[in-house]
């Protein structure tokens, strides 16, 4: 009887932690300018950003309303303090356009470095 109770408790705990490892998180992002994110053009407006995955490698999904606009690989980088508000970092491309290289979700102690940055060898 004790072995059965212990097994049930361990199974429940492992399922609880496994679900947490793949929990989806989300934030909003207010773009004030036209930017690209891995080839997808985003116009000024408010977007929903969701990410999920285990460890530092995640998939970021961006949507506006019911319109899914794209899914991109990103790396989660831990920060010392929480982001006061949502934000992003962009870089100027040689053709004059701007590309998002990082997203800063409000209230989180992380930044999401977008995959195109990894291919370039990081910042």
pLDDT in tens, 90-107: 999 999 999 999 999 999
Domain assignment present for 47: yes
**95 in any annotated domain:** yes
- Is 8 a domain residue? no
The yes-or-no verdict on residue 114 having pLDDT over 50 is yes
pLDDT at site 120: 39
Domain containing residue 71:
23-119
Q: Does residue 33 lie in a domain region?
A: yes
Name the H helices within 22-121. Answer: 115-119
Contact 105, 49 (CB under 8 A): yes
What is the count of structural domains for the chain? 1
Q: What integer is the mean pLDDT of 31-54?
A: 93
What does the alpha-carbon distance between residue 10 and residue 27 come to, in Å, rounded to a whole number? 33
9 domain-assigned: no
Q: How big is the chain by its Cα radius of gyration, in Å?
A: 18
What per-residue confidence (pLDDT) applies to 21?
45
For residue 29, name the pLDDT band (cuts at 50, 70, 90): very high
- Any idea what the Cα angle at residue 42 is, between residues 37 and 44, rounded to 5°? 135
Residue 101 lies in a domain: yes
What is the rounded average pLDDT for all residues in the chain? Answer: 82
């Amino acid at each position: 009887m004790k072995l059965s109770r212990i097994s049930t408790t361990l199974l429940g705990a492992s399922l609880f932690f496994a679900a947490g490892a793949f929990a989806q998180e989300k934030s909003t992002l207010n773009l004030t300018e036209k930017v690209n994110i891995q080839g997808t053009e985003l116009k000024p407006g408010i977007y929903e950003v969701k990410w999920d995955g285990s460890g530092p490698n995640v998939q970021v999904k961006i949507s506006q309303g019911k319109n899914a606009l794209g899914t991109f690989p990103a790396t989660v980088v831990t920060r010392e303090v929480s982001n006061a508000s949502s934000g992003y970092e962009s870089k100027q491309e040689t053709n004059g356009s701007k590309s998002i290289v990082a997203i800063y979700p409000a209230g989180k102690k992380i930044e999401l470095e977008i995959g195109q940055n990894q291919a370039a060898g990081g910042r």
